Chain A
């Protein structure tokens, strides 16, 4: 984007929603540059928080409506449109520079786009299809009749009335275009094609949006690192760098040297400072001397982040697993993946511990113990687990209420507060952060007496 350009945009011609295919040729004063970026960041941060709380699509739409109005709204619609486009392109610069930043931005922007699209009425949605060069044609009456019965069946299976299907316009497209509808079985599939109702068309449109943005981010990254970064050394680069660091938490892949833990302490630490998800895995491991793959990954990376050194980790896992499968099988089948997690095997990537968002969105199967207790446990089991941690009474009710509204991380924050008797203002968004905060809190409590 030209920060200083010549032509004013013709805002009136612009559609209500943009795919951001080309950067605007428009003058932006440097103050606006930063202000616009921060406003959009507030929206994206809100979206990303909503996602990690496992909010349902309808709730996300409500949230986006609110966020957009608060941070991006302007009485003059063309101002809003300008700000939308400008802020988007600024944040592209900010978030193009590493894979983690790109992924975060991509996910938040895509969700934002989907919600904004779905907030339009069907008529506007349909008009936007033309604007977006949507490549699929509506099903003809003859084509429709052939599959009508099945379309009605799908419609009823997702709780809509049969009329919804009978009266809707349908599009036929490769199933890859609508992964989200495929995974929730919300479309009819026949020979590789998905039959997508007008009310579901946000799905392929969003996919198209994501594809375009993903490519654009890669390109922007190359351009920024090869040309602009140096040219803008004194002007944009400082702004861009400070913006990108402000809203993504640390990834907890590097534990502090001082926070190394030893095997002797691990049971005590697990009991005092592990978040419920890790306590559960830890206890199950001690009990069964075994954990399935998902559980091993979740716990082993957490322990790495906590500061368990590779040699200690191997000793720790071996001591448990060998009771069940024998030392030999441990060395043969399991040691590899522990070393792998520490970046000592295979691709040699130093893997990062799982965040709450990742854990909440995992799908544990039979015999699995990983995942987020607030999300994946039955109420009964969750209550039992929390009682064991010393949570009761009022706090328990509050936590259960958060769980019911699917605010899993808030539930975990409340648990932290109940267990430690101290408030946790930042909220819990990473098991390793829970651990660090817990150590800090316990340290504080201990100090006055020593």
Chain B
């Protein structure tokens, strides 16, 4: 375990990138996914079809392909993300939010949004149709029906599946490590290469940290679920 302790700063920076990828892509995918779900159940035909196409296209594409599109495909047609270049110096090392990081965040957001949309749709479907009809009957427009009546109930029913989707996202951030973000998985790979004799310890240490992160998140999701349980 000495090796792990000696490299604690690199590991810390790695996991900071992992968590930043998760938090930014998590919030982004929640927003985009909610929008898609609303389009999908909404009254406008074109938007409905667009949402269906988005979900089936993105959900059926491997994550690595999507990240490769953002990392290598879009720069080929001059869509670059170089305008993002934030370096946060810390005592352990620099946290770099650059073009590569941005491309990966966008890829993860686009990918996870499809799953979020479906999770929320399942929640919306769980709200009895009578609720929407009653809301319409008192004169609320579609936006109002969604905002005031359907989504608050739908989100409650959605917490467990959404938590699963976001937990998958925590682990999916490792794919960004394969295309150039110095996140946890990437740090682990350079460590296993440099300290070939302590591979098992390094693997175990990283697995434990990941389990720990996911457990924290699960715990929070569980509390939220209990708190929001309809009385």
A and B form one complex: no
